[in-house]
């Protein structure tokens, strides 16, 4: 898997991702402590509002940012966004009012909503070989999982010698180092072949996404993933500390079990995807999530919770990690930022639905009912994915063009017949292909 790091451009981008993630993790810890210092017992409400602001920024800003990204070189855009995030992190220690936190968090998360899909869309252009790209996806999954473990440990160690305000300095350094690593390489910046209006550029990724059967299946899988992961993220602390009367350390260990399962699956995925199609692997992961959340109704002690969370981590990584391969297969290089932004926004919209369900149902109807409800939601999502994503999903499709001029370069060499022209090639939604061909 590590052979992919021999590519200098990808190596620098991966290091930029890891360093920025660690910096973000430090900011997450520091933000919780900042909220407590400003709001005391109401810190939970402050953090809940900050999380909602984050999701709103992710859902609303990503497609708009992708529209403007088409006009800028990717390296310039990524570096600028890193610098904006560093500036916000630099200001956070000096806030004195809760509303100031909300404003800065919106700016920070808006920059992240623009940065992440642009960064993700760049990797398949840097690593055009599918096997290398698959390994890069697994490394990214490992980086996210390791960040969730390493950042809190690093923060805890630093807090023994510095105040929590100084943790934001680590975030600033992380974003500046990320910007420096991006500056150190030349990035591909495919341009659209024609100028497009702002509406077309803003909605293009969403239109490609919803017109592509495998991506409609991915959207349903996103909902299954969100149903399970929301239960883990929102209710682990409730299960461990309220239901089982254990410590914060036990909560951390349970979350580490989930991350450990995810990392194990990420390590196995490159070889697994050499043998299994993406659809089969992702549906298998989603099924593990549905069954695992359903079994959560019967968890009666901590010893049962740990292996269940580990299994859910495996399902989470199996269902989510290959999504980049689907997006890569389903778009032209110049459309990838828009399509990755659509995936970013739609997947976080799923979490925006499931987070409140996990929290409100857990508090008002009890955890067994919440497990059952989210398992049912995930099961419906998997059934939709099976229905809308055909099992026979080849890259190349035979199709006809009845509306293109006979001299159009796209149909050069195509078979001519009474209704137009027929040919076969790797099929994606674009200006020449606005609908998916009907089966048969």
- In angstroms and rounded to an integer, the radius of gyration of the C-alpha atoms of the chain is 23
- Taking the C-alpha atoms of residue 213 and residue 322, their distance in angstroms, rounded to an integer, is 16
185, 203: one domain = no
218, 349: one domain = yes
- Taking the C-alpha atoms of residue 138 and residue 136, their distance in angstroms, rounded to an integer, is 5
Please report whether residue 418 resides in a domain.
no
Please report whether residue 400 resides in a domain.
no
Domain boundary residue, one of 174, 191, 208: 191
Please report whether residue 235 resides in a domain.
yes
206, 181: one domain = no
| pLDDT for residue 440 | 53
Please report whether residue 432 resides in a domain.
no
- Find the domain containing 159 and state its range: 1-191
Buried b (16+ CB within 10 A) or exposed e, 13-28: bbbbbbbbbbbbbbbb
Say if pTM beats, i.e. exceeds, 0.85: no
Q: Are 30 and 79 in contact (CB under 8 A)?
A: no
CA distances (Å), 13 to each of 4, 68, 110, 183, 272, in order?
A: 12, 22, 20, 10, 25
75, 149: one domain = yes
- What three-state secondary structure class fits 198? helix
Specify the CATH number for the domain of residue 335.
Answer: 1.20.1250.20
258, 137: one domain = no
310, 330: one domain = yes
> Closest Cα to residue 208, out of 128, 200, 279, 396?
200
> Closest Cα to residue 396, out of 375, 423, 372, 415?
423
Q: What is the mean pLDDT of each run of 10 residues along the chain (440 residues)?
A: 82 89 77 73 65 80 74 85 92 87 87 84 85 82 69 68 81 92 85 64 87 96 94 85 83 83 88 91 97 95 95 94 90 84 89 86 88 97 97 85 78 78 85 78
Please report whether residue 425 resides in a domain.
no
181, 203: one domain = no
275, 361: one domain = yes
Domain boundary residue, one of 362, 390, 418: 390
| pLDDT for residue 58 | 82
Please report whether residue 410 resides in a domain.
no
DSSP classification of residue 42: G
Domain boundary residue, one of 390, 414, 431: 390
- Reading the block at residue 219, the tokens are 């959207």
213, 296: one domain = yes
Number of domain units in the chain: 2
159, 241: one domain = no
Please report whether residue 436 resides in a domain.
no
- Taking the C-alpha atoms of residue 160 and residue 168, their distance in angstroms, rounded to an integer, is 15
181, 202: one domain = no
CB atoms within 10 A of CB 100: 14
- Reading the block at residue 330, the tokens are 């389903």
Please report whether residue 251 resides in a domain.
yes
171, 308: one domain = no
- Taking the C-alpha atoms of residue 236 and residue 3, their distance in angstroms, rounded to an integer, is 36
- Taking the C-alpha atoms of residue 377 and residue 125, their distance in angstroms, rounded to an integer, is 36
- Taking the C-alpha atoms of residue 58 and residue 109, their distance in angstroms, rounded to an integer, is 7
């Amino acid at each position: 898997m590590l052979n992919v790091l021999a590519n200098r451009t990808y190596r620098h981008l991966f290091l930029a991702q890891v360093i920025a993630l660690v910096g973000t993790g430090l900011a997450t810890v520091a933000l919780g402590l900042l909220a407590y210092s400003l709001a005391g017992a109401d810190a939970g409400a402050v953090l809940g509002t900050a999380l909602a602001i984050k999701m709103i920024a992710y859902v609303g800003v990503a497609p708009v940012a992708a529209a403007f990204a088409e006009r800028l070189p990717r390296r310039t855009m990524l570096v600028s966004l890193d610098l904006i995030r560093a500036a916000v992190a630099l200001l956070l220690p000096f806030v004195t009012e809760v509303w100031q936190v909300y404003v800065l968090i919106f700016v920070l998360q808006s920059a992240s909503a623009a940065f992440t899909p642009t960064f993700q869309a760049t990797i398949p252009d840097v690593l055009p070989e599918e096997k290398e790209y698959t390994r890069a996806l697994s490394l990214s999954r490992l980086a996210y999982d390791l960040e969730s473990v390493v950042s809190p440990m690093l923060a805890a160690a630093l807090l023994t010698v510095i105040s929590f305000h100084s943790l934001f300095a680590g975030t600033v350094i992380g974003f500046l180092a990320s910007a420096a690593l991006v500056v150190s390489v030349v990035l591909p910046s495919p341009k659209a072949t024609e100028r497009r209006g702002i509406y077309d550029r803003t909605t293009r990724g969403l239109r490609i996404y919803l017109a592509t059967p495998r991506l409609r299946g991915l959207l349903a899988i996103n909902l299954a993933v969100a149903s399970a992961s929301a239960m883990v993220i929102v209710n682990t602390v409730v299960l461990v500390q309220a239901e089982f009367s254990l410590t914060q350390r036990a909560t951390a260990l349970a979350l580490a079990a989930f991350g450990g399962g995810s990392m194990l699956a990420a390590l196995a995925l490159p070889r697994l995807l050499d043998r299994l199609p993406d659809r089969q692997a992702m549906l298998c992961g989603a099924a593990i999530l549905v069954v695992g959340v359903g079994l959560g109704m019967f968890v009666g002690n901590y010893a049962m919770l740990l292996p269940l969370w580990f299994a859910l981590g495996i399902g989470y990584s199996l269902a989510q990690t290959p999504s980049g391969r689907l997006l890569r297969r389903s778009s032209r290089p110049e459309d990838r930022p828009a399509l990755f932004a659509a995936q970013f926004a739609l997947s976080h919209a799923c979490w925006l639905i499931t987070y409140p369900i996990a929290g409100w149902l857990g508090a008002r109807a009890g955890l067994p009912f919440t497990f059952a409800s989210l398992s049912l939601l995930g099961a419906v999502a998997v059934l939709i994915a099976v229905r809308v994503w055909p099992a026979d999903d080849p890259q190349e499709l035979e199709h006809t063009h009845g509306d293109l001029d006979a001299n159009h370069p796209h149909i050069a060499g195509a078979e001519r017949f009474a209704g137009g022209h027929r040919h076969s090639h790797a099929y994606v939604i674009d200006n020449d292909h606005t609908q998916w061909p009907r089966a048969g």
